[in-house]
Copies of this chain bind each other. A is one copy, B any other.
Amino acid sequence: MQNFVFENPTRIIFGKGAIARTGGEAKRFGNKALLVYGMSSIRRNGIYDQVMSSLNEAGLSAIDFPGVRSNPVLSHVMKGIETAAAEGVDVILAAGGGSVIDTAKTIAAGVKAEPGDDIWEFFTFKKRIRSALPVVTVLTVSASASEMNPTAVITNEKTAQKYTISSPLIQPRVSVLDPTVLFSLTPECSAYSAVDIITHMLEGYFNNREPESPLQDRFVEGIMKTVMESTEAILTDPRNYNARANIMWSATLAFNGLTSAGMGPVSYPAHMIEHSLSALYDIAHGAGLSITLPAWMSRAAPGNPSKFARLAREVFGVREINDVKAAAEGIGLLKRWFSAIGSPVSLKEAKIPENEIGRIAENAAATAALWGMKSYSRDVIAEILNLCKL
């Protein structure tokens, strides 16, 4: 076990009817909220009304800030910072999935930035976040775990860079998780969410400094099996409460620090390459990951066959005793499962031109350099992208 610090103070309010508690929870941080959300879906499915009625009941006023899109962009964040500053809000309330929460987190930090600070410099690690407004979330899509972690990912559309910030100051103080909000997700969105959850964990499972991690491995395998069987259940019956609840809590635990504690620094190559796919082609994050993860795994397995074989045996019940063969079999089964739930596993399926691999690799190599991933040169990334053609 590697040395670590674990601290995750987010308060989780989980279950049917939990949204009614939003106002009471947010009230601890002030009287005026910026309500950040996406497009019209939360107005259609009633979540907006539930949140507003809870805020009203607790005596909070809310300033609407809609319009967050998936792969949220810096220009929109900047508008949110202006609105929050002009209105003098006390708390940023996100009602949405990872994109909305990440926008809310960045607004929370941006409002408290020094005058003249360039917000993008938080993402390029030139400036540090020193203060932020409190963030409260009402989760509507379970995948990113942004509701219980200190991270936000934003795309700078001018530079085509999809980059990350991380600070305990922007971690949500309270997150409200009601599994019934997931009932109305499309099968596509549910599938991409499952891919995202699984990828968060598998990157840590394979890319760490700890050769002996039975506890963390079992957490990853246990959460992964639960997510897989629950995703199959909700694709048949979208209103299966227990399956939705299992996915919702699994998604949070998959990327809130639990499965990586004690593993040393973890790297995220499948995410690193995917960020370029979604920055350049605006595909869904999960759809990009189901392409990059198996390709990365195929290239990496020969370097650590026993760990890849372990996954194959524990999660997919592979019985092959030869590690190299078991590893390959497991990767094949993962890819087939991604396909079966409706997530693309090749560039072509996602309508990404194969002849632009050079351009994608160029873009991703810049992220790799920023994230300190020295072994991922442009050529190595291109090699992985070539495996995304299969």
Complex Cα–Cα for A7 and B245 (A): 18
Given A2-B15, A3-B18, A242-B1, A215 and B249 touching (CB < 8 A)? Answer: yes
The CB with the most chain B CB atoms within 10 A, among A6, A16, A219, is that of A6
Smallest CB–CB gap between A135 and chain B, Å? 15
Given A214-B226, A262-B245, A11 and B5 touching (CB < 8 A)? Answer: yes
Q: Are B262 and A14 in contact (CB under 8 A)?
A: yes
Complex Cα–Cα for A229 and B217 (A): 14
CB of A222 within 8 Å of the partner chain = yes
* A9 CB contacts on chain B under 8 angstroms: 7-9
CB of A261 within 8 Å of the partner chain = yes
CB of A250 within 8 Å of the partner chain = yes
Q: Mark A216-230, 1 if CB is under 8 A from B, else 0.
A: 001101110110011
CB of A78 within 8 Å of the partner chain = no
Complex Cα–Cα for A10 and B9 (A): 7
* A7 CB contacts on chain B under 8 angstroms: 9-12
Q: Are A14 and B18 in contact (CB under 8 A)?
A: no
CB of A246 within 8 Å of the partner chain = yes
A215: nearest chain-B partner, CB-CB:
B226
* A245 CB contacts on chain B under 8 angstroms: 1, 262
Smallest CB–CB gap between A308 and chain B, Å? 19
CB of A13 within 8 Å of the partner chain = yes
Smallest CB–CB gap between A218 and chain B, Å? 3
CB of A80 within 8 Å of the partner chain = no
CB of A281 within 8 Å of the partner chain = no
Q: Are B246 and A179 in contact (CB under 8 A)?
A: no
Complex Cα–Cα for A245 and B2 (A): 9
* A249 CB contacts on chain B under 8 angstroms: 1, 215, 261-262
Q: Give residues of chain A (1-58) contacting chain B, Cβ–Cβ below 8 Å.
A: 1-18
A217: nearest chain-B partner, CB-CB:
B222
* A229 CB contacts on chain B under 8 angstroms: 214
CB of A212 within 8 Å of the partner chain = yes
Complex Cα–Cα for A386 and B14 (A): 41
Complex Cα–Cα for A215 and B249 (A): 9
* A1 CB contacts on chain B under 8 angstroms: 14-15, 179, 241-242, 245-246, 249
Complex Cα–Cα for A222 and B258 (A): 14
* A17 CB contacts on chain B under 8 angstroms: 3
Smallest CB–CB gap between A209 and chain B, Å? 13
Smallest CB–CB gap between A243 and chain B, Å? 9
Q: Give residues of chain A (265-313) contacting chain B, Cβ–Cβ below 8 Å.
A: none
Q: Give residues of chain A (359-389) contacting chain B, Cβ–Cβ below 8 Å.
A: none
Complex Cα–Cα for A1 and B246 (A): 7
The 8 tightest CB contacts between A and B, nearest first, are A3-B15, A218-B222, A1-B245, A9-B9, A7-B11, A6-B12, A215-B226, A214-B226
